[in-house]
């Protein structure tokens, strides 16, 4: 069993914001993986699904971004999972929209959701899929930028990259991080 967590913020106010790309990827994986037993546990939305032919627990923490690690750590303990069983999907303002960056481990890079997970697990040794959200120069007001919605002209690109990120997660689970990095790191091709 693998735990795939997409990070975001709960509530209608944040549903279409850049910071919620992780939630959108989980929604695609749930739809593709015939999600079952979906439930709201208060601090997380959780569903069982088949991802790349293997059982996975899909998770959207509902604790707001900076406390994402709380339900993830709890679910990992309950399921008897180790950090290597975890895959985290996050937005990344350092990457141009339409770009993915998969890593087997690493620092939080200023992302508060990753920081929370790393702090609570006591390790950064878990794979993550970073999904680019920046268009143009880095924003001066990063918090305002990540909490804003994509402009209408970017909606189709966002839909494509969310599907592509879901493909990358499936590849990571099926074929491992190295193959996923070779195939998906960089800008969307084709």
Catalytic residue ranges: 19
- Find all residues with CB under 8 Å of 106, minimum gap 6, and list them: 124, 128
Q: How far is CA 103 from CA 78, 121, 157, in A?
A: 25, 17, 22
Nearest to 113 by CA among 87, 91, 141, 131: 91
Q: How far is CA 9 from CA 1, 3, 51, in A?
A: 25, 18, 23
Q: How far is CA 143 from CA 76, 112, 149, in A?
A: 29, 11, 12
């Amino acid at each position: 069993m693998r735990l795939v967590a997409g990070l975001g913020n709960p509530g209608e106010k944040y549903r279409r914001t850049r910071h919620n790309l992780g939630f959108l990827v989980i929604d695609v994986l749930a739809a593709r993986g015939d999600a079952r037993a979906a439930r709201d546990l208060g601090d997380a939305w959780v569903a069982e699904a088949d991802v790349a032919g293997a059982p996975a627990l899909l998770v959207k923490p509902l604790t707001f971004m900076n406390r994402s690690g709380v339900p993830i750590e709890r679910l990992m303990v309950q399921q008897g999972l180790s950090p290597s069983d975890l895959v985290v999907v996050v937005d990344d303002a350092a990457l141009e929209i339409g770009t993915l960056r998969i890593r087997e481990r690493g620092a939080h890079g200023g992302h508060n959701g990753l920081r929370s997970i790393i702090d609570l697990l006591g390790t950064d040794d878990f794979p993550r899929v970073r999904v680019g959200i920046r268009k143009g120069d880095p924003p001066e007001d990063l918090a305002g930028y990540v909490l804003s919605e994509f402009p209408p002209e970017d909606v189709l690109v966002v839909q494509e990259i969310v599907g592509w990120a879901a493909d990358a997660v499936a590849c990571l689970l099926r074929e491992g991080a190295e193959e996923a990095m070779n195939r998906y790191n960089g800008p969307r091709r084709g």
